[in-house]
Amino acid sequence: MDKIQALTSDNAIVVFTKSSCCLCYAVTILFRELGVTPLVHELDNDPEGWKIEKALMSLGCSSPPVPAVFIGGDLVGSTNEVMSLHLRGNLIPMVRPYQTLA
């Protein structure tokens, strides 16, 4: 979908979420604690959110497709993938180019 492509190419880190999803919130907080500010796009606040959800599932996101995390334009995955990368020490090198200096 064009909207996914536009958001993920124009922003370093994008998290597609729903406002009622606690796992979405946890992933967003993790990124902020790592010193990056992702673009958070809440599907339930977007009139085309259901289309984006379907497109995310066609890209390989599980059901439910949120949170869906993109870093540098590439789909990383959902909570399990992000947390696994973090526990293995692989997430910080991925986000390092996008960290803000404190």
The per-residue DSSP string of 49-96 comes to: HHHHHHHHHHTT--SS--SEEEETTEEEESHHHHHHHHHTT-HHHHHG
Q: Give, in degrees to the nearest 5, the angle at Cα 77 between 59 and 75.
A: 55
Q: Are 94 and 81 in contact (CB under 8 A)?
A: no
Rounded Cα distance between 77 and 52, Å, is: 15
Say which CATH architecture domain 2-98 belongs to: 3-Layer(aba) Sandwich (3.40)
Sheet of strand 68-71: strand arrangement: 39-42, 13-17, 68-71, 74-77
**What is the maximum span of the chain, computed from C-alpha positions, in angstroms?**
38
For the chain, what percentages of helix, strand and coil (3-state, to nearest 5) are there? 50, 15, 35
- Confidence (pLDDT) at 64: 85
Strand pairing category for 39-42 and 68-71 = unpaired
4-43 pLDDT, tens digit per residue, is: 999 999 999 999 999 999 999 999 999 999 999 999 999 9
Instruction: Give residue 101's pLDDT.
Output: 64
Q: Which residue ranges make up each domain of the chain?
A: 2-98
Average pLDDT, the chain: 94
pTM, whole model, 2 decimals?
A: 0.94
